[in-house]
Amino acid sequence: MADWLAALDRRAELRAKAGLTRRLKPRPADDQMTDLAGNDYLGLATHPQVTTAAAAALSAYGLGATGSRLVRGSTDAHQALEDELAQWLGTDRALVFSSGYLANIGALRALVQPRTLLVSDAHNHASLIDGCRISGAETVVTPHADVNAVAAALAAAPGRPAVVVTESVFSVDGDLAPLARLHAVARRHGALLLVDDAHAMGVIGPAGAGGVAAAKLSGEPDVVVTATLSKALGGAGGLVAGPAEFVRHLVETGRTFIFDTALPPAVAAGVHAALGLARAGDGLRAELSDRVGLAVDRLRAAGLTVSVPDAAVISVTAPGPEAATTWAADCRDRGVAVGCFRPPSTPDSRSRLRLTISAGVPRAAFERAVDVIVETAP
């Protein structure tokens, strides 16, 4: 009976030899680490208006939603958040899920019908990859940001329903997908376009409405938008936004919506407050952009290989998995938290530090953190 546990130990040993061990690192409430690893791009997670709104809803509704959205889990807080999200994103409706992961899986399952072809970018997030797999549809993975490859995949399946699946700002290297060109190709072939706007929403686009809005695709009837509420909005949960008919279909058939306990009302209320701040946050976005430019310039001046960021994600190449792990640990020892991405989490088998820049980190601490990354580089 213990053989299966021994097999798991052996797998853990192999991961350790490859530098792929992962460990949980709990942080205290008074953590003093300079955070270049989290996704709180605008610094709204601790904003007084956000925490006050969440606290008021916590007092009014209690800790949890107490049920799924279709039973007892839908509250006024959820409805208000969904209404403003739809208005912000320029869509008919928006639907809030308990996580971005479930939103992506639910959206992809709902878009698939018999003979559907999914055309998925090679750098897509794991939630999109898993959504494609769980949907059961045939999936063609195309080279990263290659519009011609997407066109060829669609042309090879004439007459079949199809969905082009992409992130807007990609979560590993922070580059922006050619959304307008992808949409043009998709429309030419009668396909839909699903865009995970998680790392763009709140950061780019008019009033921070994201990559889809920046590409002037808001409200297009053949575009579906997904995102998390845990990045620039500083909360938790996920969303799917698009035509009213599609959102109705999700409410009535989406398993990751129907059978999941709803997002806590306090979180919905806090995110709603953060949304208002994000919409009016052009100053925060300007500061964020300035910090991204400063970091890229300093890192490149030190001879490091750095991605060309289109939002607030910066990728810095490491020599290998072990070097990346050591580099991240050295930064942490000096009070700086950075992301450490290694295979199999990276789509190109390249190890790197991932820096997520936040306007909420004190400026002096941010500049010191960039210096620490340079000083500890392998």
Are residues 37 and 338 in contact, defined by beta-carbon separation less than 8 angstroms?
yes
The structure tokens listed for 199 are: 């790392």
* Amino acid 344: pLDDT: 76
* Amino acid 345: pLDDT: 72
Q: Enumerate residue ranges in the chain where pLDDT < 50.
A: none
* Amino acid 341: pLDDT: 87
* Amino acid 327: pLDDT: 97
**99-134 per-position pLDDT tens digit:** 999 999 999 999 999 999 999 999 999 999 999 999
**214-268 per-position pLDDT tens digit:** 999 999 999 999 999 999 999 999 999 999 999 999 999 999 999 999 999 999 9
Name the nearest CA neighbour of 239 among 346, 374, 87.
87
Name the nearest CA neighbour of 315 among 33, 323, 324.
324
* Amino acid 15: pLDDT: 85
* Amino acid 192: pLDDT: 98
Question: What's 22's DSSP letter?
Answer: -
**61-75 per-position pLDDT tens digit:** 999 999 999 999 999
The structure tokens listed for 122 are: 């090679």
* Amino acid 136: pLDDT: 96
Q: What is the pTM of this model?
A: 0.95
* Amino acid 18: pLDDT: 76
Q: What DSSP string describes 135-204? A: HT-EEEEEPTT-HHHHHHHHHTSTTS-EEEEEESB-TTT-PBP-HHHHHHHHHHTT-EEEEE-TTTTTTS
